[in-house]
Chains A and B, each alone.
Chain A
Amino acid sequence: MNGGSVLDDGFALRCPVPLPLGAQVLLGHGSGGKLTAQLIRELFVPVFGGDELARLGDAAVVEANGVRLAFTTDAFVVKPMFFPGSDIGALAVYGTVNDLAVMGAEPLFLSAAFIVEEGLPLEQLGAVVGSMAEACERSGVKLVTGDTKVVERGSADGLFVTTSGVGVVPDGVDVGPERCRPGDRVIVSGPVGSHGVAVMSRRAGISFETEVASDSAPLTPLVRAMLAAGEIHCLRDATRGGLASVLNELAEASGIVFTVSESAVPVLGPVRAACEMLGLDPLYVANEGVCVAVVADKDAETVLAAARAEPLGAEAEIVGEVTEGRAAVRLRTGLGTMRPLLMLAGDQLPRIC
């Protein structure tokens, strides 16, 4: 390093040694943040092509023989498998059901593929499967096909579950980021961050005691009630990466500005406390039972009321609005200042510093 102020020296720009980002897949590529988006955009989409894939919605809406189908798939690798309020099985069902529901579809059929690690106690597998059956019943969907593979000890971290789901989108329902427009209001259906905190509380190394339970649940009745109550332009399931990531995806896909008030976003007290303790921002913590709706201003209050009348939407809030401008997400802080709510690169590692 040269002495003196860099401003005095007027130093010449040199090409820095770049870190070899492209060499290997990193954990961050799976976090739902910027690295994930980059991987999808640069590796997957160009190879498979197609307009529907490129839309990158929670589910694909495709047409066959005049019927509009919503089709989605999701892999579940949560560790530990069992955590307060839910487990990998229920998650696998509700996650896929919700991805269909937020496209306005009526979820109908599921498939499930299991990759099981050699040595997993059968009792645990049985518990997961039992939980899935219960979740299907609660969601009104049928599991109609599946697959099972077993891999050597050490190759699968217990159990990985992939579910795919199909549903029918009724005529007249059309939700998508391209419909969002300035003036729209943003509604969040419930408190955020509960799922992530519940899972973390059981993770070795950062475990702590709390009554916080995962919010994993089927959102279909809630979404149906909201869609019936007013003009909804877009719906998203807020999962990994949290509310902030979903808003960023929406801003990117719609090309306009989303502004959210920090103090309006509902967060349960213990979830806030856990996030404080770990140095995390609840806006980036995973959910499994929260949806975000972008609603025409004129119908915002009625849609909110309809959400609140549903058990899963009792704590719904209007948290922000859509405005003119180039794709961005902004946060209005408690002090009244504005700052951007950026997409995180990878995982939010619990902050210690």
Chain B
Amino acid sequence: MCLGVPGKVTEIRGEGEIRMGTVDFGGVRRDACLAYMPEVEVGDYVIVHVGFAISRVDEEEAARSYALLAEMGNLENIDLPQDPEGVRDFIAEGPAAGPPAEADP
């Protein structure tokens, strides 16, 4: 059972086993049980699975690892090798993506 969605804790009520929070998922709010996240505070992001917060999103780690990825995405000339299996329909997405380039033979 994998569906875990990240959301921001906007309110916390109760304590211990009945610690509940209001979690905002991009504009939609639902209660989640925070019994397993005793250290989570308002403003933190959590991963919610079947109504329970199971993990806190480590924003510093996320930022650090994403920065490396984002650098990749922003490279000026993306040399996309010709797909050996046939033409793939690449749509220009994002500011840096240009039209697919021909691979050097």
Contact = CB atoms under 8 A, between A and B. Distances in A.
B88 A337 contact: yes
B5 interface: yes
A269 B26 contact: yes
Contacts of B29: 208-210
Interface stretch (B54-62, B63-71, B89-97): B89-97
Contacts of B30: 208-209, 277
A332 interface: yes
A276 interface: yes
Interface string B1-12: 111010100000
A276 B4 CA distance: 9
Interface in A252-271: 261, 263, 269-270
Contacts of A150: none
B93 A353 contact: no
B50 interface: yes
A17 to B, nearest CB: 29
A334 interface: yes
B60 to A, nearest CB: 24
A332 B3 CA distance: 24
Contacts of A210: 27-29
Interface residues of B, number: 18
B89 A353 contact: no
A209 B30 CA distance: 6
Interface in A307-353: 332, 334-338, 351-353
Given A336-B88, A336-B91, A337-B88, A353 B28 contact: no
Contacts, number: 56
A272 interface: yes
A211 interface: yes
B3 A351 contact: yes
A334 B93 CA distance: 8
Contact of A209 (B1, B2, B3, B28): B28
Contact of A274 (B1, B22, B28, B89): B28
A332 B91 contact: yes
B25 interface: yes
Interface of A: 201, 208-212, 261, 263, 269-270, 272-274, 276-277, 279, 332, 334-338, 351-353
25 contacts: A201-B28, A208-B28, A208-B30, A209-B28, A209-B29, A210-B29, A212-B28, A261-B91, A273-B26, A274-B25, A274-B28, A276-B26, A277-B5, A277-B30, A279-B3, A332-B89, A334-B93, A336-B89, A336-B91, A336-B93, A337-B89, A338-B89, A352-B1, A352-B3, A353-B1
